């Protein structure tokens, strides 16, 4: 398993719009070949955040570079600078199914209203 972690900074006044846009791109995210799990974490007051993408392999990550860059292109007006991903081998992942499911966050329809 391979992990791509991308730090980003959204302009403070654009945070809500960026979240709205992210939820609308879910279909495109689901089509990324080899994507196993995706989390976006952030601080609304500073605009700082990270995208954490778990992929089947390093090869999948490399094949998706253009598609992912295209998705980031949709956020250029919201970002303070172009994100620069870092890549890692997944060394250890812990899942605890006895504690319930991993929180998925708001559904697109609930968040968009």
pLDDT of residue 99: 66
Residue boundaries of the structural domains of the chain: 2-92
pLDDT of residue 43: 92
pLDDT of residue 109: 39
Predicted model pTM? 0.81
pLDDT greater than 60 at residue 105: no
**pLDDT tens-digit series, residues 26-75:** 889 999 999 999 999 999 899 999 999 999 999 999 999 999 988 888 88
Q: Which of 51, 64, 58 is nearest to 1 (CA)?
A: 58
* Multiple choice CATH, 2-92, 3.40.50.410, 3.30.70.100, 3.50.50.60, 3.40.50.300: 3.30.70.100
């Amino acid at each position: 398993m391979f992990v791509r972690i991308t730090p980003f900074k959204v302009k403070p006044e654009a945070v809500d719009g960026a979240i709205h846009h992210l939820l609308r791109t879910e279909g495109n995210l689901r089509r990324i070949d080899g994507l196993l799990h995706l989390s976006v974490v952030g601080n609304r007051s500073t605009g700082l955040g990270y995208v954490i993408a778990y992929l089947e392999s390093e090869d999948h990550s490399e094949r998706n570079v253009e598609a992912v860059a295209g998705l980031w292109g949709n956020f250029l007006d919201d970002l303070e600078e172009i994100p620069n991903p870092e890549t890692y081998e997944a060394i250890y992942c812990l899942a605890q199914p006895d504690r319930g499911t991993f929180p998925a966050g708001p559904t697109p329809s609930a968040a968009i209203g």
